[in-house]
Structure 1
Amino acid sequence: MNKQSHSALLWIVAAGFFMQALDTTIVNTALPNMAAALHVGALDMRPVVVAYALVMAMLTPASGWLADKFGTRRVYFTAILIFVLGSLFCATAHTLNELVIARVLQGVGGSMLLPIGRLALLRSVSSEEYIGALAFVSIAGQVGPLLGPVLGGWFVETIGWHWIFLINIPIGAFGLFAVRRFLPAGAPVAPPPFDVIGFGLLSVSMASVSLALDCPVETHRALISSILFAVFVLTVVLYLLHAQRRPLPLFDLALFRERNFSVGLIGNLVARVGSSALPFLLPLLLQVQLGYSPLQSGLVMLPIAIVGTIAKRWVTPLILRYGYETFLLVNTLIVGGSIASCALISPGWPLALSLVQLAIFGATNSMQFAAMNSVTLKGLTPAQAGSGNSLFSMIQMLAMSLGVTIGGSLVGVFARHFDSTGLGYRLSFACVGTITLLSAFVFRYLNAPSARNTQPAVARG
């Protein structure tokens, strides 16, 4: 690959990373205005976030197989096209249902941008260049969350909420042109048969648990939630039975024999519930309850991204000094405590203290992701790495969906019970922070000698 094509490939993948990362954060600060435009309550907007994350979780395991079957360039081009079309439909939606359907389409494209972008690099650059290439495109994944809340607030105040989606169109158009012009075609290979049954069972299990945890307040909804939770348990059991019999299941159960992988996976799922709920709940609290403008609420969120980016460099020396098990135990307690402390944010609470709280959350949450990623994946063999990383990415997106679902539902439950929306937000922050605190006890079951002997590797969260 010549120098021009190499540089173009990096920018192509970086553009995909940027769109996917930006879209996970830019929506949050715009939700109250979008809700007003669509004539629904602000909390009723949570399906807009959940649908995107849940579809990404469902489809991530299929991305590698699709790239093998149809070729990396063709699938990556299709992923960008679907994402851009989904963005266009989001911008032109006139009802909440239309917007949710458009977000589902956007999630279909988004689910392939990150994993296939990494695969394109792996197949197109030399092993000596791969780490540097991945570091370059990962910058886009850090810039997206940095700009997202502020950019979303600015768009809402100046040119309208539709532009939080329309911004993807010129970026995507550049990506489509560049993919056709510079990305090597790559001959499709003959992948093993895709585990359609396993894929279907896991997709149903994720959708059912997300819907079941949409906390019920009426009797009939409690019954529906119970049925959905039963479907979740049943599909998980059926997948385990299926994976034991199938020679090449979607995710081999042998992955779970690596103790740190199993513990890390569970810890990630529990810890990320609070971490995913906070970016959804806080802009709503600031705008709906405290009277902040969208741009002001976006600026308040900025310390999370800025301090988080700086703090990543602290992870390796801290882990080398204290070990994974001690670091994760202490750091998780701080993350959970900082989330729960947002229950103190109220009309009389000083803004400076709020910024300190969010800076602490941003620093510890960033380190938490990096440490959890590293300890979960580094013990896998090379043969297990691809499948393990895919499952890990799926759990990350599922946790984001569950965090928004649980956080938003709790606000509604508490607000109805105490007849106070403000108290509903405060109690919800306390609850999701406590859930994250509980994951500290999960990390106590890490295989300490194995974790200690693993060189830390800072990974994108």
Structure 2
Amino acid sequence: MSDNSLPEKKSGVSPAALLVAGAFFMEFLDGTVIATALPDMAQDFGVDAVDLNIGISAYLITLAVLIPASGWIADRFGARKVFATALGIFTLASVFCGLAVNVEWFVAMRILQGVGGALMVPVGRLAVLRTTPKHLLITAIATLTWPALVAPIIGPPLGGFITSYANWRWIFFINVPIGLIAIALAFRIIPDIREEERRPFDMPGFLATAIAMVSLVYAMESLGAQEQQGLLTLALLLVGAVTLIYALRHFQRTRWPMIRLDAMQVPTFRVTMYGGSLFRASISAVPFLLPLMFQVGFGMDAFHAGLLVLAVFVGNLTIKPATTPLIRWLGFKKLLLINGALNVAALLACAFLTPDTPVWIIMLVLYLGGVFRSVQFTGVSTLAFADVPSAQMSYANTLFSTATQLAVGLGITLGAIGIRIGEKVSDWLLLSELPGISFRLAFVVIALICLIGMGDTLRLTKDAGSAVSKKTK
């Protein structure tokens, strides 16, 4: 493996990690900020707002198809070149999204953005993982995870602000200066890592994975939709499951698989793939559920609902400096169990909020939820790569990125299903008259899923992940 990386830093966050985190933030924010702008965009395009959901779906499906191939592309062409190219594609597509005059143009450019995003996130993470010493991995991962936590929270209110006081097109145009600066820095900062051994492209594995991911992501979108398409959803789930099983067997048998499953033999990585995916899915539902509960359930306007949700962002942000000391003090197993229980409690607390709950209590609950969410997310993401050998890092990163993409899609679906379960239960218990009861019961469902995900953590050894959690002299 070629590695023309910069000299290792003794402490602190590397410039590469900061640059990659900034690129992540641009991409994640772009995916969430659009939601509040859809009505204005639909008016300009002369369509219904619901028709623009295809733009979001097209972006997610493009990510799902191309992320599995990102590891091979980075190994073949070099992380620096691929990351800079991904930034260029994403930035150019942002310009054309802002210039779009109809739905077809917009959807096509969202697909192009998805191409850039699919390469940007996993390749950027891989560059950081391969060049970060084990004892600095917690800090590096904490830096890389904050965009995924922060963007879904501040995206909707920011989108509303830009749409109200400027124009929805500026949601995309603001990416241009950021993207250009990031591209220039990428050629200076990102290490040019690549595999010297050129392995052939696994076309059967790519096609099987692509069909599986498209089927499963679209099925999740269908499950979360208001209008149910039972037979289509069932068919998609069946196709997705069959092709995924085929792909997994193919990866185990072929000499040059697109994704090696060797990392699944590492106990810490395996736990973060199973229980960790349930956790990521459950917290992905929170930014979806909270605004709906406040606006639809409690009758708040979008602005005040957005201000309350920002308390989650403040919690995410303020705990970041303490995350590394907490992991070093408690170790991964104890931290994930204690903080995981607190995270479940914070989700359950949302079920007890009402329109009459004092604002300061609502903000405290959301703030603490943001704190526990941030610590758990960083802990799980760091533990995933704590014991993975360097030679397996590319495959492990691709597998982790693919699972994360599915978990995020599943989170929105779980939120929507939770609301429907809440509606049924509230009718059965004659509680339908209580404000926002279906949304409040949805938080109970999400909390239970999060609790189930913690079961895997009990299997960890006491010193799990000690290679990165121990202090270095």
Taking structure 2 as the reference length, the TM-score comes to 0.78
1:151 to 154, 158, 162: 158
Structure 2 match to 1:448: 461
Query: Which amino acid letter does the alignment assign opposite residue 435 of structure 1?
Result: I
The whole-number CA distance in structure 1 between the counterparts of 2:143 and 2:109 is: 27
The whole-number CA distance in structure 2 between the counterparts of 1:169 and 1:292 is: 34
Deviates more, 1:387-396 or 1:79-88: 79-88
Q: What is the deviation of 1:41?
A: 6.4
Query: Which amino acid letter does the alignment assign opposite residue 211 of structure 1?
Result: Y
Counterpart secondary structure, 1:354: helix
Structure 1 match to 2:176: 169
Q: Is the 8 A contact 1:118 1:134 kept in 2?
A: no
Q: Is the 8 A contact 1:142 1:309 kept in 2?
A: no
Structure 2 match to 1:75: 82
Cα deviation 1:199-237 (Å, max 9, x = unaligned): 222232222223334338999822222222222221122
Structure 2 match to 1:259: 267
Q: 2:314 aligned with 1:301, yes or no?
A: no
The whole-number CA distance in structure 2 between the counterparts of 1:48 and 1:457 is: 45
Q: What is the deviation of 1:397?
A: 2.1
The whole-number CA distance in structure 1 between the counterparts of 2:145 and 2:187 is: 23
Structure 2 match to 1:195: 202
RMSD: 4.3
Structure 2 match to 1:215: 223
Q: Structure 2 regions of 5+ residues with no counterpart?
A: 7-13
Structure 2 match to 1:117: 124
Q: Following superposition of structure 1 onto structure 2, how do residues 329-408 of structure 1 map, counting pairs within 5 Å?
A: 329-408=337-416
Provide closer, same or farther for how the CA distance between residues 422 and 147 of structure 1 changes in structure 2, counting only shifts above 3 A.
Answer: closer
Q: What is the deviation of 1:359?
A: 0.8
Q: Is the 8 A contact 2:333 2:461 kept in 1?
A: yes
Q: Structure 1 regions of 5+ residues with no counterpart?
A: none
Cα deviation 1:393-450 (Å, max 9, x = unaligned): 2222221111113323554676699699944433333322322222122322x33145
Structure 2 match to 1:310: 318
Query: Which amino acid letter does the alignment assign opposite residue 61 of structure 1?
Result: P
1:427 to 434, 441, 449: 441
The whole-number CA distance in structure 2 between the counterparts of 1:33 and 1:341 is: 35
Provide closer, same or farther for how the CA distance between residues 209 and 142 of structure 1 changes in structure 2, counting only shifts above 3 A.
Answer: closer
The whole-number CA distance in structure 1 between the counterparts of 2:40 and 2:48 is: 10
Q: Is the 8 A contact 1:375 1:456 kept in 2?
A: no
1:273 to 278, 281, 294: 281
Q: Is the 8 A contact 1:153 1:297 kept in 2?
A: no
The whole-number CA distance in structure 2 between the counterparts of 1:192 and 1:37 is: 48
Counterpart secondary structure, 1:448: coil
Q: Is the 8 A contact 1:56 1:107 kept in 2?
A: yes
Provide closer, same or farther for how the CA distance between residues 89 and 440 of structure 1 changes in structure 2, counting only shifts above 3 A.
Answer: same
Provide closer, same or farther for how the CA distance between residues 219 and 53 of structure 1 changes in structure 2, counting only shifts above 3 A.
Answer: closer
Q: What is the deviation of 1:372?
A: 0.9
Q: Is the 8 A contact 1:54 1:207 kept in 2?
A: yes
1:241 to 230, 244, 249: 249
Taking structure 1 as the reference length, the TM-score comes to 0.80
Structure 2 match to 1:16: 23
Structure 2 match to 1:61: 68
Query: Which amino acid letter does the alignment assign opposite residue 62 of structure 1?
Result: A
Q: What is the deviation of 1:289?
A: 4.8
Deviates more, 1:448-457 or 1:214-223: 214-223
Structure 2 match to 1:206: 213
Q: What is the deviation of 1:101?
A: 4.8
Structure 1 match to 2:9: none
The whole-number CA distance in structure 2 between the counterparts of 1:110 and 1:153 is: 23
Q: Kindly, what percent of the aligned residue pairs are identical?
A: 32
The number of equivalent residue pairs is: 453
Q: What is the deviation of 1:369?
A: 1.0
Q: Is the 8 A contact 2:137 2:382 kept in 1?
A: no
Structure 2 match to 1:228: 236
